[in-house]
Structure 1
């Protein structure tokens, strides 16, 4: 029995090495980007529901962008707080703000995708740049660096949405590491010609791409996924590229409660069940192999079975993974996370398997 586990462990290590050296290396060792702004007309789209404090703080940062031709489309998704009032004040203050007021619709009650669809249709520019109501750009050149990646062929741009760093918070390190790992995955697969997701905190595409796939209609019944399910459906090797210059990043306020973050991740995991078969398969293989990489050597070492080989393979895999994660963390300016590897990785793996099990027995909460 132990010999079979030993050979299976060797196979799992090979799978992990394949991912880190065969896939993630593509982004980890990619050349740093240096873009030239194209100055194309852009509509920045923000959808908010009960976000009065966040929009009051962050919309002025969007308005302060150094870009010659852009508008900000503010979508109030039937908020019950003062979000609409704040938006209306900004509309008076800034001439390039366009306000979309969404009322609850019986057929699309509380559906963010319905609200976003109205905002996209109201946008006057052909190129759209999306962020969330609790996000803000890291520089005044955010629009310029994101849209610089557009070409005649490349009409979908995947960006990076960071989370603010909270000192002395281990939960914050887990959240940021998970965000980093996710970005390494979707950036790497996009560079390999297999784009499968993006994040609504920082995503851009030409309006034509939205209408080519009839918008969100194929997954309108699924409350989440206005970003990743759209990309999973519309993105191809020919029309998709990535943006990872530091000026292209956005920052978001992270969850400070473990339960709140788990609820958020449960929605993300549930949405991934609607990806294409290949994307579900490759993600399933990666996360399963991560879990098995922890379990199998623990069993083998408990029985002291081929402990020198097992220990050597564990060390080799961690070295390879640390190099890939460390290089990617440098690119995405998450420098401190490489010093917490592999502790945060092990904790995250255990949390993810717990989320997967919980989702088997109950549905996660949806958009506010």
Structure 2
């Protein structure tokens, strides 16, 4: 874990992790130039729990060409004694006491190099912004989990991601000349060195390299959760940060990650065509697509909640979920999603954020 000014979260997180069912693990927290009392909390926890396999590293300064979080993670991973690296954020919590066990068991196949997990936000408020954040996070998980399951992994989430240390530290030959110039000089990079200066990318830009996106496993039930952004400004900054990183994706990643939003965009272009020319087939196909989308998202949500659709689908709540979730939520959600993806995304390209938080 990389932690910067997370004093209010650290103790609760460490207690939760050391209450996990899995026993053979170490915890490494990298205190990234915090100016709160994070260091005191880490020292106190170490003092009060001498028998626990807990270590922390404090960074007072970083190299000029490194992003703070990636440098902290890079140092922490290099210090790790075990082969399997499991990452989470300091403001997250395991959803249950079997999180580490489930993620570790996903490496039972020796060929698996990387495991992508799920990290949703806690449901706290009943307002439009929180509702949209919850659904957008769920939809993002559905996309990257589904593509990974079909051998086309393009991202994960740093709140719940695991890979082998040997893969992370394996060198990659990088051409340092522009792509239109014949390669005359190369450089070997390891870990995050290739993307060291980028603001984000520790959980998605790494998937531009075959060593990470080859032999990827998924874990649906080993989950973490965190607090959702509490206001529009906080959420907007987060999404601008995420979308600005997308401009650095490889061509492969850009194609894969664009499939769903482009499908929405062209469907609504077709809807405009319907209003102009009255092709009722277009409206019929759109209705079918929305029904399929609704069904797939509901099945996925119930699966990651260790539940079955049938357990929630009764005649009593049939009309409630049909009208509330389908016609109100998901039809409206896609319009908002289009706005956020294209409008906020374009803004992030031309005015990328300069800070992490």
TM > 0.5 between the two?
Answer: yes
Distance in structure 2 (CA, Å) of the matches to 1:366 and 1:131: 20
Q: Hey, what does 1:235 align to over in structure 2?
A: 212
How many residues align? The count is 318
Work out whether 1:165 is the aligned partner of 2:139: no
Q: Hey, what does 2:81 align to over in structure 1?
A: 124
Match of 1:175 among 93, 114, 133: 133
Asked whether the equivalents of residues 326 and 338 of structure 1 are also in contact (C-alpha less than 8 Å), the reply is no
For residue 157 of structure 1, give the secondary structure of its aligned residue in structure 2: strand
Tell me the TM-score normalised to structure 1 length.
Answer: 0.81
Work out whether 1:155 is the aligned partner of 2:155: no
Work out whether 1:78 is the aligned partner of 2:33: yes
For residue 367 of structure 1, give the secondary structure of its aligned residue in structure 2: coil
User: Any residues of structure 2 matched to 1:1-368 within 5 Å, and which?
Assistant: 46-94=1-49, 95-108=52-65, 111-150=68-107, 151-213=109-171, 214-233=190-209, 234-237=211-214, 239-245=215-221, 248-297=222-271, 299-303=272-276, 305-333=277-305, 340-368=329-357
- In structure 1, stretches of 5+ residues that fail to align are 1-45
Residues 289-324 of structure 1: CA deviation (Å, up to 9, x unaligned):
312322441x23443x22422221211111111121
Residues 220-246 of structure 1: CA deviation (Å, up to 9, x unaligned):
111211111123323234x2100002x
Tell me the TM-score normalised to structure 2 length.
Answer: 0.84
Asked whether the equivalents of residues 91 and 97 of structure 1 are also in contact (C-alpha less than 8 Å), the reply is yes
| Structure 1 residue ranges, 4+ long, deviating more than 4 angstroms after superposition | 334-339
Return 128-137 or 205-214, whichever deviates more.
205-214
Residues 231-264 of structure 1: CA deviation (Å, up to 9, x unaligned):
3323234x2100002xx11011100111211111
Asked whether the equivalents of residues 147 and 154 of structure 2 are also in contact (C-alpha less than 8 Å), the reply is yes
For residue 126 of structure 2, give the secondary structure of its aligned residue in structure 1: coil
Residues 1-58 of structure 1: CA deviation (Å, up to 9, x unaligned):
xxxxxxxxxxxxxxxxxxxxxxxxxxxxxxxxxxxxxxxxxxxxx1100111111322
Residues 266-310 of structure 1: CA deviation (Å, up to 9, x unaligned):
11111122222122023224312312322441x23443x224222
Asked whether the equivalents of residues 154 and 257 of structure 2 are also in contact (C-alpha less than 8 Å), the reply is no
- In structure 2, stretches of 5+ residues that fail to align are 172-189, 313-320
Residues 187-223 of structure 1: CA deviation (Å, up to 9, x unaligned):
1111111111111100111110111141011111112
- Asked which structure has the greater RCO (Cα within 8 Å, sep 6+), the reply is 1
**Change in 2 beyond 3 A, CA 1:50/1:320:** same
